Structure 1
Amino acid sequence: MVSERGLQVLRAIVQDYVDTREPVGSKAIVERHAFGVSAATIRNDMALLEDEELIVAPHTSSGRVPTDKGYRVFVDHLAQVRPLSPAQRTAISSFLEGPSDLDEVLTRTVRALTVLTGHVAIVQYPSFARATVSHVELVRLDAQKVLVIVVTDTGRVSQRLAFPGVEIDEERMQRIRGRVSDLVVGVPVREGVAGVALAVADGETAGDPDGPALQAILRVIGEELDDFRQDRLVLAGSANLARSEGDFRGSIYPLLEAIEEQVTLLKLMSEMVADDQGLAASIGRENEPFGLSEASVVASEYDATGSRARVGVLGPTRMDYPTNLAAVRAVARYLTRLLDEDDIAR
């Protein structure tokens, strides 16, 4: 059982090690922190922390550094998450301000977060499986090229080209637009995928002059709606891993591979357990099932018109947890407010 002063000593070791990258000794703690006790007393506290496997000596006769377990205890006993400075809050708003669609907003979000934290920033797309298709627009670009635009009531927008393979004039375009809208507009995405698949499977109706063009456009719409159902991430700041490579005992390749493939990070982000403030941290060896035992992830939940997802950062276990937790919480709250505005969420 760690005493209250022991927790304070652990907090000092974590903070000093994060700041200096150097093992922390009892003399340095006495000099930097107002404990009001001797270095010998601090050494006794450190010995108890070492017995609990919360700190470890990386070298003989050196100071101590936190273990993964020590970081976990530190995070679990944070009295409060450090508030962001006015400059940091201004940076968030300047990155995210201005109307845009959801894709652009989430791209801005990871850019803001990686600048704030210096780590890899991650944002989950909210699940759109329960979203409803609010609008489909078909724009004739030339006689054999159509821009297909699909919009959901949760703000997701898709734009993709379709090549019907036959000439389309404005009159035919209008007929197809009406048939497509009747099929998917006002329909949940999940049902829309099924409905489009059924219509495509039925094939071209005999004698229907619009059949080939309609089938080609429906295939594009079906693929886009199916993509809306898929969980995926937006990431930024992968180069930060190389800059902090010295904080990893082994290779950073597993982290780069996880970023590249996303499946591992999606599973990790989805399984993290949040506290009553929506904050979550997964530290070091806790990530071993995901092959990321040398990394930590901190995240916060945001709300996209009823569909919850997470925004977070990935970095070494030697990270500034209070500041990073404050950053992801602030960004998540700003993102929630932004997505609640009509120009984004509708």
Structure 2
Amino acid sequence: MSQMETFKELIGMAAITIFFGLLTWGLTSSYLEEYDLMSTEPKSETVASIVGTKSLFRPPAYNVKIEQPDGTPSEELYRISKKQAEELTRGDEIEGYANGPTGFSTSRDILMDSMFYLAGIGVLGFLAFCCLVATILSIPAIEQAEQKSAYKRYVKKKRKKRKKNRNKKQHDTGWGIAGAIVLFFMFLASRFLLNLFRKVMPFGKTETEATIFDTYSYITYRKHEDSIREFTVAFDDQDGNTIQVIKDVTRNTFADYDIGDRLPISYDSTNPYDVFVRGTSIQDTFQALLTWEMLVYGSMLAVNGFVIWAYYDSRLKGKWKKRQVDAR
């Protein structure tokens, strides 16, 4: 490679590094401007109530309402952990952060609301770092030293290990990528599978009736967006504690009940915020299956099932062919 080509390659890598670096800096600057973390100060508020939120397909999330100056609970929910939900009671102080005299956010609020920014900053920052390393290795002197070192490692490795078949390497690499995809999809679907297991599990749940004291619906006809139908319910658990949960329901269930009605539910005996509506009908199941969220989870599980089947089928065929060769 001529010096001019080497110079062009070095300039190109440097330009890409600067590009990703500027994107990382821009996204970081936008994030700090949006959330203004530099000016946040610790702030505590009084807990008015603990409120769980329970979707159709995932385990519960936990929130608090705080007392407003007039003594009433806030309309806004503030995210907390499961441990905090178990430990906090009405009148306790909850620690958080504020950007002004009236604003308040918990650390979990900040983390969840800024997840997109943090993921983008992480990805772009990683790409910028990789490009920076590649740029440094493109410097002629460093590149020559690295090539000599790599050649020595190659010779040493060649003496210890025989050369493997290229097709086998490609085959193993392909299954490795497929395995990584399976693990990633299983991680994304794990909360769905956990909720499904708890839903169909016939034991470990307590049956009761909850009073509906508020309803909410958001009906959308946009593609790739599900409508929302919620009941805010309250009931007493086994220990006599009043539990408040905002529960997602199907269109059929939402039409059958109204404010003041008693909703038949069951909940996990170890976690009263993990609420399920009893008496699920075929129509309820059908409506849940037609949601986009269910389609996403179903697609991921279908891909996982196919990859696992293909892997074991390939292994069985490989063993069968090997036996045929050995028999000859």
| Bin for the TM-score computed over the shorter chain | under 0.3
More strand by share: 2
Structure-1-length-normalised TM-score? 0.18
**Bigger radius of gyration among the two:** 2
